[in-house]
Structure 1
C-alpha cells in the first residue's frame, strides 16, 4: 500500500516523471489527463513545461529525435486522449451525471465542464486545454451533448497542438535563456500550477457550481452554440 501511495506521489511530480519515465510516461500521462476522468489530478501544464526544460534529455533518450517530432508525438497523444473522452461521453451519456462520487470521479468537475461548454460552445474544447480539470472533462461533455464529430476534431487538434507547443517551447527557450532553471524546478512548477489553476479557483470561490442534473434547457443552449 505504501508503494502505491508513493507511486501516486511521483505521478504528480513532473521532474520525476521526465527523469524516470521519459517520453513513454509523458505520452501516457498527457493521454490520460486529456480524456480519461481518472486522470484529472495529473500535472499536464507543469509536466509539459518541465518536458521543454528537459528537451535535450528527452530527445537523446528516444533515438535522438528532433524536439519538433517529440512535441508532435505529445500533441497527438493529447488528440487521442480527447477523442477517447469524446467517445466515452457519447457511450455513457447522462448516466455519468447520476454516478456517485469516488476518489477518481467527482461529479462537480463534470458540472464545471458542462457549464464551461454551455458558455463557450465548441470553442470550449480549445480553451479547456489550458484549464486543469476542465480539460479532462470537456471532451466527455462534448460527447454527452453529441457535438458534431468533425467540428470536435478541428477544435481538438488545434487545441492540443497549441497547448503542447506553447508549454513545451516555453520551457525549452526559457531554459536556454536561464541555464540554471533545473535547480529551481519546484518554484517554477508552483508558479505554473498557481497560474493555470487560478481561473478554476476563482470559479469555485465566486461562482459555486450547482449540484443538479443537466437540464434540457442547458443542452439546448449547447446545441444552439454549435449549430
Structure 2
C-alpha cells in the first residue's frame, strides 16, 4: 500500500520533485515527461497516470526557468499525438484478432455499432476526449476498434493534442508563478484533478441517460 501513496505524492508535489530530477538527469527529464504523457494517452492499461496536472505543473516550472517552454510544447504535443496514434493501431489490431477467437465475447454487430458511432461522432470525440481523464485513453483505442478512417483520425488527433497540451502548459506558464498560485499550488492541482473527474462523471451520466432513453423507446 506504500507505493500508490508515494506515486500520488510525486504527482501532487511534482514541483518539489522536479528540481531533484533535473539535477540528476538533466535533459533526460524531457524524456521522462514524454514517456508519462505517451503512456497516459497511448496505453489502455495506464489511464491513471497524470495528464492535465502534469502539464500544468511543467508549464509553471518552465515559467520559473527550470524547463524550456518551447521544448516542452514540442515534446508534450509529440507525446500526445504519438500516444493516441499508438492507441489507435492497438485498437485496430485488437479488433481484427478478437473476432478470430473461437469464443470471442465481442460480436461483429458490436464492432459495427462502434464503427457507425465513430463515422458520425468520431472527430468530435477524439478532440473533446483529450480534456477528460480515462476517456482520452480509451477514445483512440475505440476509434481503432471502430475502424475510423486513419486520415480523419490523424487530423483530429493532432488538433486535440495541440489544444490539450498547449492549453495546460501555457496556463501553467502564465499563471503558475503568481503569488496566489504559488501559495496554493497543491490545492490548484487538486482542483484541476477534481474538475477533470467532474467532466468525466458528466460524460458517463450523459451516456447513461441516453442509453436509458433509448431503452424506453424500444419498450414503447
Same fold (TM over 0.5): yes
Cα contact 1:46–1:193 (8 A) shared by 2: yes
TM-score (norm 2): 0.73
Q: Specify the alignment match of 2:71 in structure 1.
A: 69
Q: Specify the alignment match of 1:47 in structure 2.
A: 54
Looking at CA atoms only, which structure, 1 or 2, has the larger radius of gyration? 2
Instruction: Label 1:159 to 1:7 Cα distance change in 2 as closer, same or farther (>3 A).
Output: same
Q: Specify the alignment match of 1:103 in structure 2.
A: none
> Following the alignment from structure 2 to structure 1, what is the Cα–Cα distance between the partners of residues 115 and 65?
39
Unaligned residue ranges in structure 1 (runs of 5+): 60-65, 100-112, 212-227
Cα contact 1:72–1:161 (8 A) shared by 2: no
Shift of 1:25: 2.1
Runs of 4+ residues deviating >3 angstroms: 4-14, 16-22, 94-99, 113-119, 203-211
Aligned residues: 190
Q: Specify the alignment match of 2:26 in structure 1.
A: none
Instruction: Label 1:146 to 1:91 Cα distance change in 2 as closer, same or farther (>3 A).
Output: same
Unaligned residue ranges in structure 2 (runs of 5+): 22-28, 107-113, 212-220
Q: Report the secondary structure of 1:42's partner residue.
A: coil
Q: CA RMSD in A?
A: 3.2
Shift of 1:8: 3.7
1:25 to 26, 32, 46: 32
Q: Specify the alignment match of 2:88 in structure 1.
A: 86
Q: Specify the alignment match of 1:149 in structure 2.
A: 150
Cα contact 2:126–2:160 (8 A) shared by 1: yes
Give deviations 1:101-158, integer Å, cap 9, x for gaps. Answer: xxxxxxxxxxxx9998587322211111111110001110010011111111111111
